[in-house]
Amino acid sequence: MTKILDLFEEWFITFLMGGATLVIFLSVIHRYGSGFAIPIMQDWLLSLNVSWAQELCIIMFVWMAKFGAAYGVRAGVHVGVDVLVNRLPEDWKKIATFVALSCGIVFTGIIGTLGLHFVWENGMHYAAFSTFGIATGDLPQGPTTPDLEWPTWAVYSAVPLGSYLMCFRFLQVTWRFIQTGELPRHDHAHVEGLSEDDGAFDVVAAPGGVK
Amino acid sequence: MSAVAAEAGWGPMSKTRAAVWLSIIVGLLLAVCVVGGNIGIVFALLIALMLTGIPVSIALGLTVLLFLLLLTHVPIEAVALKLFTGIEKFEIMSIPFFILAGNFLTHGGVAKRMINFATSMVGHWHGGLALAGILSCAMFALVCGSSVATVVAIGSIILPAMVKQGYPKRFGAGVIITAGSLGILMLPSIPKVIYAISTSTSIGALFVAGLFPGMLLTAMLCGTTWFLAKKNNYPRMPKATWGRRWKAFRESIWGLMLVVIIIGGIYSGIFTATEAAAMSAIYAFFISVFVYRDMPFKNTPQVMKTSASMSAMLLYIITNAVLFSFLMTHENIPQLMADWILGKELGQAGFLFFANILLLLAGNVMEPSSIILVMAPILHPAAIRLGIDSVHLGILIDANMEVGLCHPPVGLNLYVASGISKMSITELTIAVMPWLGTMLVFLVIVTYWPGLSLWLPRAMGMM
């Protein structure tokens, strides 16, 4: 189950990264492409409205930020100040790490709940009730985004979803820490593809190049 | 990093010493609370949380939550709203694009061609390969906005080459660590984008303003290197023919063209900064996969995933820093700080000195983006009232961040270089000293010579 979640998370952020890049690329191409007077092409391009590209890009990146942050907990990319903690005696260090992880759990939990509350009050309540045919009464329908006209509650639900996922990741990490005493750490010192570079540099590889 | 830290003589303290240290810290923080009133509490809380080792982003957010819950009557819904709207700015979205572009460039063989070109130009001088390393870092920095990416891209090729030629390992490492920091000074740079957002300065002007300081730093680093290489008689390479130089230049032109896209695009108004970043990501992808063919197409998802998680980490810090700056504005802290600083009557020179010291100290504990997000809103209002230009302050902060990247305990360039060279942080810290000294001299020049940064953006009419 968590495997599926892991995979989904990774593919989701990869997709959002690539997607947003393409969206902006296409919108720029469109803006300048429609300036050329190619008979049928131009009419067709002008008929497309891509003013929503910017908004879509922002939404995609906000979602990427929230889910990527959750992935980051698992991969250990979030940087903290470990100057003091690293110098503490071993068992005190454990306590400090434990406090730190609990702070993470509490914070993401609170933010998730606040976000959910906000989203619920801003249209999700209405949407849920009207979907299930319950009388909505005077519940607000909630605002929509300016260009895409998507309901904001759906767009903003990145915050509760992402935060709860992050909270779950912190719980996972804490659980593993209690069991094994290990934390995930992103090793900045690790450089990919280092060994493949041998001999790729022709000026140096030439024998007799050294004077 | 903990293993590295232990190796560097940062081993655990005994319990009594730790207890003494902790009580000193707690005492200090309490004193700050008492003296500073609400401001004191905010910062004491932030520092206390950070010292437990939690991610900076969460420390920032939690400070805000605790403060709002315990000490004010601000409705907590305001926080929720800020979390959505905090990063809803199109300018911020240039950060993921620059990261993506940087990752494509790193994997795509652009660095290799730039090194070939630089080597063919200066290889025959004293310490030729080292000089070529600095020049190629500078060229790479023209198109890449991150110093870590610069160190990885250039360092992973040039360091092994230097060792093969008979340079001492530490010499090469020292050169690359410091030259890599050019990545955030020359033209595009992620810290500059963050500064621009948190102080509403023009991104284009900041990008261009870094060019001359970057060239000066390149020249100064080259000077130090040449001097050391001559003294120790390090190897020189045969002089390349002009034909060879031309060929190397033609091969590297694809990568250098990115400068035209980014700066030309922004300057002429064809693109916004964010669009330019997106175009450069696409362009970098295109040349890596189809022109140079150094990166197989199947690696693309992997590069995108790495970029996504790096960007998410930064964006998450930014979101929480936006919350934090909301708290600061709510408590009127920037204005109070500005009044306090101005009340000291330091004058421009004194203020700049004070700002440098503060930033250098901060560089000991935090990484650049967090420092800028916390410090810029505090320093900026005071600087403006003292008549210091916003762009000049930005370049100054940037230069300070460069120094912070090159020394322990949090200098990322150092850790990356230690990964490439397999040297310990202690060794690297000694290795980097001559160039770090050069950078400090450079810092003084940048601080007290605003014209160096401001002339070009003024001449181009960008500010």
For B1, which residue in chain A has the nearest alpha carbon?
Answer: A187
What is the least distance, in Å, from the CA of B76 to any CA of chain A?
A: 8
Name which of A161, A144, A162, A140 is nearest A153 in CA terms. Answer: A144
Q: In chain B, what percentage of residues exceed pLDDT 70?
A: 96
**Is there a contact between B96 and A64 if contact means CB atoms under 8 Å apart?**
yes
Judge whether residue B94 has pLDDT over 80: yes
- Among B170, B224, B180, B221, smallest CA distance to B418 is for B170
For residue B39, pLDDT beyond 80: no
Q: Which residue has the higher pLDDT, B3 or A158?
A: A158
- Chain-chain contact of A189 with B4 (C-beta, under 8 angstroms): yes
A193 touches chain B (CB under 8 A): yes
The neighbouring-strand residues paired with A151 are A144
Q: Tell me: pLDDT of A47 over 60.
A: yes
Instruction: Give the whole-angstrom CA distance, residue B368 versus residue B148.
Output: 12
Contact (CB, 8 A) for B83 and B324: no
What number is the ipTM of this complex? Answer: 0.82
Find how far residue A98's CA is from the centre of its chain.
25
pLDDT score, position B11: 61
User: What tokens does B23 get?
Assistant: 């009580």
Contact A21 B80 (CB under 8 A): no
> Would you list the DSSP string of B289-311?
IIIS--S-GGGHHHHHHHHHHHH
Cβ contact B352:B417 at 8 Å:
no
Q: A199 — contact with chain B (CB < 8 Å)?
A: no
Q: Touching check for B308 and chain A: CB below 8 Å? A: yes
Partner A, chain B 392-451, Cβ-Cβ below 8 Å: 409-410, 412, 415-416, 418-420
Q: Which residues contact A134 (CB under 8 A, 6 or more apart)?
A: none
Chain B residues touching residue A189 (CB < 8 angstroms): 4, 415-416, 418-419
Q: Does A16 touch chain B (CB under 8 A)?
A: yes
Residue numbers of A between 129 and 188 with CB closer than 8 Å to B: 156, 159, 185, 187-188
Which tens digit of pLDDT belongs to each residue from B258-276? Answer: 888 888 888 888 888 888 8
Alpha helices in A34-87 (DSSP H): 39-47, 53-75
Helices vs. strands in chain A: H and E counts, helices first? 8, 0
Cβ A64–B50 below 8 Å, yes or no?
no
Q: What is the mean pLDDT of chain A?
A: 77
Query: How far, in Å, are A54, B79, B123, B124 from residue B42 at the CA level?
Result: 36, 16, 54, 57
- Going by pLDDT thresholds of 50, 70 and 90, the confidence category of residue A15 is very high
Q: Is the pLDDT of residue A64 over 60?
A: yes
Using H for helix, E for strand and C for coil, what is the string for B242-264? HHHHHHHHHHHHHHHHHHHHHHH
Q: Is the bond preceding residue B409 a cis peptide, omega within 30 degrees?
A: yes
- How confident is residue A164, by pLDDT bands cut at 50, 70 and 90? very high
**Mean of the pLDDT values across residues A2-23?**
90
Residues 6+ positions from A91 with CB-CB distance below 8 Å:
none
A115 in helix, strand or coil? helix
Chain B residue numbers touching A85 (CB-CB < 8 A): 51-53
State pLDDT tens for residues A94-135.
888 888 889 899 999 988 888 888 888 877 777 777 777 666
pLDDT tens digit sequence for B217-237: 999 999 999 999 988 888 888
Q: In residues, how long is chain B?
A: 463
